[in-house]
Amino acid sequence: MKKKRKVKERNVRQLRQLIEAVAEQNGEEGTLPMSFFPLRILITVLSVAGVVFAVALLGRALLVESDFFKTLELAFSTGNSELLAQVTKVIFGLVLHFVILFAILAVILYCCHRSVRWEWKQLVVRGNEEVATWKAAPREASREAVEALEAYLQEHATLGKPSKVKETVEAAATSVGTAMDKLSKEHAAKKRLTSVESSRVRALRRLLKPVLKISGHGEQLPKSTYWIRVYVLITVAIAGIVIGLVSGFFTYLKLFIACLVTLQLGVAIGYLAFIWPFVIIWFLPIAVFITVWLWHRRETFKEWKELLALADREVEEWSQTTAVPEEVAELQKFLKQAHKYY
State which H helix or E strand residue 197 sits in. none
pLDDT digits (tens, 9 = 90+) for 187-233: 444 545 556 777 788 888 888 888 888 888 778 888 888 888 888 88
- Residue 126 near residue 42, CB atoms below 8 Å: no
Nearest alpha-carbon partner for 333 in 215, 211, 222: 211
Domain extent listing, the chain: 1-172, 197-342
**Residue 71: predicted pLDDT:** 65
**Residue 26: predicted pLDDT:** 66
Q: Which residues of the chain have pLDDT under 50?
A: 1-3, 165-177, 179-189, 191
**Residue 37: predicted pLDDT:** 83
Sign of CA dihedral 129, 133, 134, 139: negative
Report angle CA 9, 11, 14 to the nearest 5 degrees.
Answer: 110
**Residue 210: predicted pLDDT:** 85
DSSP 8-state code for residue 224: P
Instruction: State how far the Cα of 209 lies from the Cα of 336, in Å rounded to an integer.
Output: 18
Q: What are phi and psi of 314, to 5 degrees?
A: -65, -45
**Residue 336: predicted pLDDT:** 79
| Alpha-carbon distances, residue 253 vs 133, 268, 271, 318 (angstroms) | 54, 10, 8, 63
pTM of the model as a whole: 0.49
**Residue 83: predicted pLDDT:** 67
Instruction: State how far the Cα of 26 lies from the Cα of 332, in Å rounded to an integer.
Output: 11
